[in-house]
């Protein structure tokens, strides 16, 4: 072994947080092994816990996510938004920052569910609206519900964690860049290496691997389904392994290149292709109908936002619908919040709280809403007018991953659009995987911004193998069981996200918008001095 190789190995062991690394790795690998030994028993146990969690926690998830959205909107317009995450200049341009934030996992779900989700709400609308399914009356409500699920709320839980982690890590001396740091005022800076913080970071590793691997399994399934749908290529287990292994190599290569050369460049490419495919669908699809549909759905979502956020279906027979859809999405997003929050914190140094909050829930929503309106609206339009048949997908006889290919096959230049869709699926797979793997590497090294290559490659392999195993283990049954496990991990992170919000409120309200820390001062992102205690001499409305 050469000196450089010895140095890499030494760095790998020196940087590890052994407790978080070992427990996170053993927990993740243990679930994989358990599925192989007795998948039915594990699936049954997960299903039972999942049902109990929904029974007792569904209302809490709805309320917590709603409060987080309201708080972030206040940060955008209120005086606390002027505060910076650290006192340096931003590392990336706004376009690159936005592209990386959007591509860091969330966009993969947007691409996957874009052509599909509205179809389910068209066939089975939210009972809140009181409309009959599979009718023209249900069309705008289907898109309205989709926009609600994929705009502000899901993005809010990622953003609140990113702001809380970055704010305390970059503005307090000695606070590491890791998930438990979001609770610094509650845990105490001296207890960030204590047992409670360790448990939070271990659960963060497990939730990230489970949540991301499940989603990557979906994206991998979509890629393989596209090849089979368009060209009749049939993949067995070996083929699945080859496809996912190839993608794993690609995202590991991107990850090893680092944030600047790998993730940033690929994210910029993703967003360009995303916009091109979205506009092509709008132009080649029912353009005027989509404009009318989008306006009505958007207006409905804004007008009904509070009601939709807090609707539980109690007394109306809609409880199961809400749990199956809204609560499931919030819990899944919450299980992703540690990874997405940590990655957002990593790329947000030097930006104000207002910039991060605005980008996290407003700018990303501005990209998401047209996608679901144009792509999802076209699919619903084709189904409602019988111009295409998504019946097998709606009935569950075909996987949701097929919808995109049925959609583009019904449009002019369908073959070209399907190829572009496959490329987009692949590149979002890569950016989701490399950003999440970077986040897990940071979690298991005590918060280092640039973990060793060995650490990143290790977690990249674990993530890729987990995604491949999920696809091989039985598609709907295997993936569905882990989806439920991911929802279970999301429940405790509802509490973590809520406490992160309280931590920010506690700190920011106690300083009147002026924050002095032990080693550095952030006064709306300007002057420095040293002080052991915060000072409250400045008012929120003071000039810089």
Element (H, E) at 516: strand 515-516
Residue 522 phi/psi, 5-degree rounding, is: -120, 105
Question: What gap in Å lies between CA 213 and CA 197, rounded to an integer?
Answer: 24
Question: What gap in Å lies between CA 169 and CA 339, rounded to an integer?
Answer: 15
CA 391 distance to own-chain centroid:
29
Q: State the architecture of 3-509 in CATH terms.
A: Up-down Bundle (1.20)
Element (H, E) at 378: helix 377-384
| Buried-exposed string 229-257: b where 16+ CB fall within 10 A, e elsewhere | bbeeeebeeeebbebbeebbebbbebbee
Q: Contact, 471 vs 220, CB < 8 A?
A: yes
pLDDT recorded at residue 168: 95
The number of residues making up the chain comes to 544
Question: What gap in Å lies between CA 404 and CA 428, rounded to an integer?
Answer: 15
Alpha-carbon dihedral sign for residues 522, 526, 529, 534: negative
Question: What gap in Å lies between CA 470 and CA 240, rounded to an integer?
Answer: 10
Write the pLDDT tens digit of every residue in 46-72.
Answer: 677 777 777 778 899 999 999 999 999
- How does DSSP classify residue 363? I
Any residues with CB less than 8 A from the CB of 140 and at least 6 apart, and which?
293, 296, 297, 300
Beta bridge partners of 37: none
Averaged pLDDT, groups of 10, the chain, 544 residues long? 68 78 77 71 72 80 96 96 92 89 74 90 95 96 96 92 96 90 93 90 79 69 70 68 71 61 73 92 97 97 96 81 88 84 91 96 94 96 96 83 88 90 79 75 79 81 73 52 65 89 91 44 36 35 37
Alpha-carbon dihedral sign for residues 434, 438, 444, 450: positive
Stated pTM of the model: 0.83
Spatial CA neighbour of 473 closest among 27, 31, 35: 35
Question: What gap in Å lies between CA 78 and CA 74, rounded to an integer?
Answer: 5
Residue 284 phi/psi, 5-degree rounding, is: -85, -15
Kindly list the domain boundaries of the chain, sorted by start residue.
3-509
CA 56 distance to own-chain centroid:
24
Return the SS3 of 120.
helix
Q: Contact, 20 vs 459, CB < 8 A?
A: no
Q: Is 171 left (phi over 0), alpha (psi -120 to 50) or beta?
A: alpha
Spatial CA neighbour of 111 closest among 221, 28, 239: 221
DSSP for 236-297 reads: -HHHHHHHHHHHHHHHHHHHHHHIIIIIHHHHHHHHHHHHHHHHHHHHHS-HHHHHHHHHHH
């Amino acid at each position: 072994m050469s000196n450089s190789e010895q140095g890499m190995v030494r760095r790998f062991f020196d940087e590890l947080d052994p407790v978080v690394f070992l427990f996170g790795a053993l927990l993740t690998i243990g679930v994989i092994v358990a599925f192989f030994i007795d998948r039915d028993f594990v699936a049954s146990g997960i299903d039972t816990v999942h049902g109990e969690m929904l029974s007792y926690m569904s209302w809490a998830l709805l309320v917590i996510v709603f409060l987080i959205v309201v708080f972030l909107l206040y940060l955008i317009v209120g005086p606390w938004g002027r505060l910076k995450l650290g006192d340096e200049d931003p590392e990336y341009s706004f376009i690159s920052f936005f592209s990386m934030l959007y591509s860091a996992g969330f966009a993969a779900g947007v691409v996957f569910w874009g052509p599909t989700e509205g179809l389910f709400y068209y066939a089975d609308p939210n009972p809140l609206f009181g409309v009959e399914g599979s009718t023209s009356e249900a069309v705008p409500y289907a898109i309205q519900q989709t926009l609600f699920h994929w705009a502000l709320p899901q993005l809010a839980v990622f953003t609140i964690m990113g702001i809380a982690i970055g704010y305390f890590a970059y503005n307090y001396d000695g606070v590491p860049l890791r998930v438990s740091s979001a609770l610094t005022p509650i845990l105490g800076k001296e207890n960030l290496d204590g047992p409670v913080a360790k448990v939070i970071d271990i659960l963060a590793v497990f939730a990230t691997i489970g949540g991301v691997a499940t989603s990557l399994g979906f994206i991998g399934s979509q890629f393989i389904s596209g090849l089979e749908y368009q060209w009749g290529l049939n993949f067995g287990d070996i083929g699945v392994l080859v496809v996912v292994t190839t993608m794993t190599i690609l995202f590991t290569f991107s990850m090893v290149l680092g944030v600047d050369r790998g993730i940033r460049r690929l994210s910029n490419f993703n967003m360009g292709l995303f916009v091109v495919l979205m506009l092509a669908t709008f132009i080649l699809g029912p353009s005027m109908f989509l404009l009318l549909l989008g306006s009505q759905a958007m207006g409905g979502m804004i007008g009904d936002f509070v009601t939709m956020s807090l609707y539980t279906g109690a007394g109306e027979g809609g409880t199961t619908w809400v749990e199956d859809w809204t609560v499931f999405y919030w819990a899944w997003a919450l299980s992703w919040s540690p990874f997405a929050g940590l990655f957002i914190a990593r790329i947000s140094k030097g930006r104000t709280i207002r910039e991060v909050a605005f980008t996290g829930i407003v700018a990303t929503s501005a990209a998401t809403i047209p996608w679901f309106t144009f792509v999802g609206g076209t699919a619903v339009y084709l189904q409602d007018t019988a111009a295409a048949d998504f019946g097998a997908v709606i009935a569950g006889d075909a996987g949701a991953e097929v919808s995109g290919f049925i959609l583009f096959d019904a449009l002019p230049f369908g073959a070209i659009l399907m190829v572009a869709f496959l490329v987009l699926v692949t590149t979002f797979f890569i950016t989701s995987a490399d950003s999440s793997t970077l986040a897990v590497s940071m979690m298991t090294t005590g918060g280092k911004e640039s973990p060793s290559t060995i650490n990143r490659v290790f977690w990249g392999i674990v993530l890729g193998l987990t995604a491949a195993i999920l696809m091989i283990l039985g598609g709907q049954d295997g993936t569905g069981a882990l989806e439920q496990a991911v929802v279970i991990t999301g429940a405790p992170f509802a509490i973590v996200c809520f406490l992160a919000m309280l931590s920010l409120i506690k700190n920011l309200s106690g300083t009147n918008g002026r924050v002095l820390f032990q080693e550095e001062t952030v006064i709306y992102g300007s002057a420095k001095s040293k002080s052991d205690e915060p000072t409250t001499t400045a008012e929120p409305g003071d000039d810089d």
